[in-house]
């Protein structure tokens, strides 16, 4: 993806109206737009925008990281988190659980990419953290001890810890600062979901260690903080999507509460939303649904990728494809494996 080129095309196709700008989709569709559209960004956002070089590049990477993970998590579903911009723009203008997931995974992606760049030494503004992890005010944190091994229980902080504090802070400044003064329910939900995304990283940091000692004797271990793999972040947020809570504005209008009284107040790590999702069965320009016609389904699965569910009970067609495969392989002295190419038949089901 080339965000800059796509943004240029988008400008030609669709004039940027205030409504989709206000929806905040600009960050996800093209981070650089945030700086361009806010002619005179103020405060922290201004610092990020003026220093176009490193941080904005990492923010763009983070957005792409989030989008790629979203497409992976939803590949077997009616709504597959397609990167088709017109559809995504509509999704982001609403406030469904899909909107919530995209906002959360984007905030997580931005945090992740910036933190990773700090550790790699790719940003001038930050570096990895040395020594014991510290809280925001510089106090030492009480942290869990590394996993016990039979080899050694002596360990110390060392090496290069992921500087997740910096990534969290920049993600907040870039994605949230424009909304801080608003308190309508959609804004509250957006900020909540951004935070839920970041927490999927922050609360799943782990400790990695390396052994020191003569010939692997491991008399001492040095340990450092590492972010979870981004796939793990995606998995956790996907769980939160499944259990997302529908909320409404409270009586004072300054917070939200569960729509249903027998549901407990959603926690900080939960994804929330206020609008029912469409069923995504048929194309609908208003909701951003692309429909599922032509999608490949799995006739033997009872899950979301099963033909019943994916094709919305419209039925499917079956075609036989011949796929090349290695066969009759044998070992040739020395040292080669030689195979023939066979064609195997496979049935493919496609939604009507
Ligand atoms: C841009 O980043 C550099 C390197 O970290 C920093 O020294 C400088 O103050 C920043 N400039 C602005 C305007 O924020
Ligand atoms: C996602 O869905 C769209 C619309 O149905 C389809 O065109 C696209 O091929 C799908 N992507 C994947 C990876 O299945
Ligand atoms: C279809 O679903 C079944 C059951 O879940 C699974 O074992 C199989 O690998 C799936 N086939 C494909 C092509 O994904």
Domain ranges for the chain: 83-288, 292-352
Q: Following DSSP, what letter does each residue of 200-262 receive, concatenated?
A: HHHTT-EEEEEEESGGG--SEEEEEEEPPPHHHHHHHHHHHHHT-EEEEE-TTSSSEEESSTT
Given a cut of 70, whether residue 16 has pLDDT beyond it is no
Instruction: Answer whether 90's CB lies under 8 Å from 285's CB.
Output: yes
Q: How far apart are CA 17 and CA 26, in angstroms?
A: 11
Atom of ligand 3 nearest to the CA of 303: 5
Instruction: Answer whether 269's CB lies under 8 Å from 107's CB.
Output: no
Mean pLDDT of 15-41: 54
CATH number, span 292-352: 3.30.2460.20
Q: For 131-172, what is each residue's pLDDT tens digit?
A: 766 665 655 555 566 666 656 667 888 878 888 999 999 999
Q: What is the DSSP letter of 148?
A: P
pLDDT reported for residue 15? 33
Pocket test for ligand 3, best of 297, 301, 305, 319 (most atoms within 8 A of CB): 301
Q: How far apart are CA 52 and CA 47, in angstroms?
A: 9
Cα-based torsion angle of the residue sequence 322, 325, 327, 330 in order, rounded to the nearest 10 degrees: 160
Distance 232 CA to ligand 3 centre (A): 22
Average pLDDT, the chain: 82
């Amino acid at each position: 993806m080339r965000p800059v080129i796509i943004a240029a095309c988008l400008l030609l196709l669709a004039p940027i109206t205030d409504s989709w700008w206000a929806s905040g989709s600009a960050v996800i569709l093209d981070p650089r737009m945030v700086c361009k559209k806010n002619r005179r960004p103020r405060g922290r956002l201004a610092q990020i925008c003026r220093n176009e070089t490193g941080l904005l590049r990492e923010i763009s990477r983070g957005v792409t990281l989030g989008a790629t993970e979203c497409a992976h998590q939803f590949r077997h579903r009616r709504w597959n988190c397609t990167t088709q911009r017109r559809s995504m723009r509509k999704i982001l203008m609403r406030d469904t659980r899909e909107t919530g997931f995209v906002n959360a995974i984007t905030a997580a992606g931005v945090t992740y990419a910036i933190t990773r760049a700090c550790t790699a030494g790719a940003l001038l503004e930050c570096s990895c953290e040395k020594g014991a992890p510290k809280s925001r005010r510089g106090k030492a944190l009480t942290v869990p001890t590394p996993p016990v091994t039979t080899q050694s229980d002596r360990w110390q902080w060392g090496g290069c810890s992921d500087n997740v504090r910096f990534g969290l802070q920049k993600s907040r400044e870039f994605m949230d600062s424009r909304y801080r003064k608003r308190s309508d329910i959609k804004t509250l939900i957006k900020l909540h979901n951004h935070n839920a995304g970041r927490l999927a990283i922050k609360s799943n940091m782990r400790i990695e260690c390396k052994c020191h000692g003569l010939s692997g004797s491991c008399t001492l271990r040095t340990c450092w903080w590492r972010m979870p793999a981004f796939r793990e972040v995606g998995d956790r947020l996907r769980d939160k999507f499944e259990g997302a809570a529908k909320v409404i504005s409270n009586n004072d209008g300054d917070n939200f509460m569960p729509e249903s009284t027998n549901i407990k107040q959603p926690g900080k790590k939960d994804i929330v939303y206020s609008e029912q999702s469409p069923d995504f069965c048929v194309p609908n320009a208003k909701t951003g649904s692309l429909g599922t016609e032509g999608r490949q389904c799995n006739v033997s699965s009872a899950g979301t990728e099963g033909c019943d569910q994916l094709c919305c009970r419209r039925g499917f067609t079956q075609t036989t494809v011949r796929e090349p495969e290695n066969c009759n392989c044998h070992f040739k002295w020395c040292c080669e494996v030689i195979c023939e190419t066979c064609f195997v038949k496979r049935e493919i089901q496609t939604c009507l």
